[in-house]
Amino acid sequence: MDMTTVAVAIFVAAYALIISEKVHRTIVGIVGAMLMIIFGIISQETAIHHIDFNTLGLLMGMMIIVNITSETGLFNS
């Protein structure tokens, strides 16, 4: 089977699982990335190289701020 076909199949399956909400989207994303590496579609070095740590830091900071703010009751109507 062609690698492009395998990559598209993994992508479509991951999208379907995310849309169905049967499995948490974080787990689907991690398993999809693992399958891409296992099947040799992308190398581990390339996968790590494409991680944007600035974006991850920004998201973590936003989650911390939202968590602290939600504990104050700001989001309760």
- Residue 10: closest CA among 27, 35, 47: 35
Report how far residue 16's alpha carbon sits from residue 32's, in angstroms, rounded to the nearest whole number.
Answer: 12
User: Can you give the pTM of this predicted structure?
Assistant: 0.71
* Total length of the chain: 77
Tell me the pLDDT tens digit for each residue of 6-33: 999 999 999 999 999 999 999 999 999 9
**2, 23 contact by CB (below 8 A):** no
Residue 23 DSSP code: S
Report how far residue 45's alpha carbon sits from residue 62's, in angstroms, rounded to the nearest whole number.
Answer: 28
Tell me the pLDDT tens digit for each residue of 35-61: 999 999 999 999 999 999 999 999 999
